[in-house]
Structure formats: structure tokens, C-alpha cells
């Protein structure tokens, strides 16, 4: 199957949105909780690992999955410098039409490359929201990214899709909930999740 330019997703808006959030995250916020049941530093460490992994995936470079589980204790002190570069590299790697062709491997999982590209986008979008909510920053998602992520999480919510370990339990929302709120709910996140307020 040949992937055309029109059928490719652009990961650049999502990557830039996450990079913009990084500029305003303070050291004091690194231990704050996020909607993904871990602290800010752990989400950042996860992003450090996944950006590298999905660049390799786009290049069809299979690497051994030896990275430790994400942990704030492992976060590189230079994350503010390194992570924006990796985000840009990730978006650039998936602008190559060949990244979307054939099969792709990430973390020992092999699937069609077109689906893997959506997984990469979904990771950026969801963890960007996690960081934005935890650090009390505004967050908006473009329509194309929202639509692609919604199709993905709707499919993963179907029985037998093995969502355990990938997403938490589905959060029920009203039928008229905005599309991105539906993405969050199907990914096991509560759109109304509150950041920690000052005492």
C-alpha cells in the first residue's frame, strides 16, 4: 500500500504545542500530580523516551526495548534543552511518506505504520494535555489531530482491543461532549480533572 501525502497526519502542531508547554514548567511543578496518575517529571521522562522511540519507528530502525520504565527520578536534568529538539525530530521523521508505509515496530509491538503514526500523535496529544492541566496552562488541539485521536480511542474502546495498560477505564461523558473531551474520556481521563490549587 502506498501512502499519499494527503493521507498522512501532521504531527508538527502537536509536537510544537508540547514544546511550548515546556517553557513554562517550573522545577517546583515537577512533583505535582497529573491526570495520568504520575507526577509531571515522570510524564516528561516518558516523553523523552517515546520521542526517541518513535523517531526510530518512523525510520524503520528496530532497537532493543531496554529503556527503564518512565520515572521522574530518571529525568535528564537537561530535559528543557533536549526534549524540544526530540519533539521537532519526531515531527520531522513522520513527515516522510515512507514512515507511513509497511509495518512499524515500537517497544516490541509491530503494527501497520499508518496506525503507529496515529499512536505517536495520540501520545503527544494526551501527554500534552496531562502537562497542561498539571501546570495550569491553556491547551487547544487542532481539528485534524482531534479527529485522528478520536478514531483511535474509539477503536481501542471496543471489546477485545487490549487497552489495559495503555489507557485507564473509560470516563463516561454526555453525548454532546466536545470531540476532544470524548478523546480524553475514552482514553481514561476526566476532562474536568483539576490541577492542585495553592493552599
Residue 36: CATH number of its domain: 1.20.120.450
**What's the CA gap between 173 and 165, in Å, rounded?**
21
User: Over the chain, what is the mean pLDDT?
Assistant: 89
Residue 165 binned pLDDT confidence (cut-offs 50, 70, 90): low
Nearest residue to 59 via CA among 90, 84, 82 = 90
Q: Please give the model's pTM, rounded to 2 decimal places.
A: 0.90
Q: What is the mean pLDDT of residues 64-76?
A: 78
Residue 112 within any structural domain of the chain: yes
CB proximity list for 15: less than 8 A, separation 6 or greater: 87, 88, 90, 91, 124
Write out the three cell numbers for 161. 482491543
* % of residues, the chain, pLDDT over 70: 86
Residue 62 within any structural domain of the chain: yes
Q: Is the model's pLDDT at 87 over the cut of 60?
A: yes
Q: What pLDDT was estimated at residue 1?
A: 44
**What's the CA gap between 132 and 14, in Å, rounded?**
13
Q: Is the model's pLDDT at 61 over the cut of 90?
A: no
Q: What pLDDT was estimated at residue 158?
A: 78
Residue 197 within any structural domain of the chain: no
The number of distinct structural domains making up the chain is: 1
Residue 180 within any structural domain of the chain: no
**What's the CA gap between 113 and 163, in Å, rounded?**
19
Q: What pLDDT was estimated at residue 27?
A: 97
Residue 106 binned pLDDT confidence (cut-offs 50, 70, 90): confident
**What's the CA gap between 181 and 153, in Å, rounded?**
12
Q: Is the model's pLDDT at 140 over the cut of 90?
A: yes
Q: Is the model's pLDDT at 159 over the cut of 90?
A: no
Phi then psi for residue 167, to 5 deg, are: -135, 155
Nearest residue to 11 via CA among 80, 96, 101 = 96
Q: What is the mean pLDDT of residues 172-199?
A: 86
Phi then psi for residue 125, to 5 deg, are: -65, -50
Beta strands 109-112 and 103-106, pairing class: antiparallel
Residue 108 within any structural domain of the chain: yes
Residue 51 within any structural domain of the chain: yes
Q: What pLDDT was estimated at residue 126?
A: 97
Q: In terms of residue numbers, what domain contains 34?
A: 10-140
Residue 15 within any structural domain of the chain: yes
Residue 109 within any structural domain of the chain: yes
Write out the three cell numbers for 29. 511543578
Amino acid at each position: 500500500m502506498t501512502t499519499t501525502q494527503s493521507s498522512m497526519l501532521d504531527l508538527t502542531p502537536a509536537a510544537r504545542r508540547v514544546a511550548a508547554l515546556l517553557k513554562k514548567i517550573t522545577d517546583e511543578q515537577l512533583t505535582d500530580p497529573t491526570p495520568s496518575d504520575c507526577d509531571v517529571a515522570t510524564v516528561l521522562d516518558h516523553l523523552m523516551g517515546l520521542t526517541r522511540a518513535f523517531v526510530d519507528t518512523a525510520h524503520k530502525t528496530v532497537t532493543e526495548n531496554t529503556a527503564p520504565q518512565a520515572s521522574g527520578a530518571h529525568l535528564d536534568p537537561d530535559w528543557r534543552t533536549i526534549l524540544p529538539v526530540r519533539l521537532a525530530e519526531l515531527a520531522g521523521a513522520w513527515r516522510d511518506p515512507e514512515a507511513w508505509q509497511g509495518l512499524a515496530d515500537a517497544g516490541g509491538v509491530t503494527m501497520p505504520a499508518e496506525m503507529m503514526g496515529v499512536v505517536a500523535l495520540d501520545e503527544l496529544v494526551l501527554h500534552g494535555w496531562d502537562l497542561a492541566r498539571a501546570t495550569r496552562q491553556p491547551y487547544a488541539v487542532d481539528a485534524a489531530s482531534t479527529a485522528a485521536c478520536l478514531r483511535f480511542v474509539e477503536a481501542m474502546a471496543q471489546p477485545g482491543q487490549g487497552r489495559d495498560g495503555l489507557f485507564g477505564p473509560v470516563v463516561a461523558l454526555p453525548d454532546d461532549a466536545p470531540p476532544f473531551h470524548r478523546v480524553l474520556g475514552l482514553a481514561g481521563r476526566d476532562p474536568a480533572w483539576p490541577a492542585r490549587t495553592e493552599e
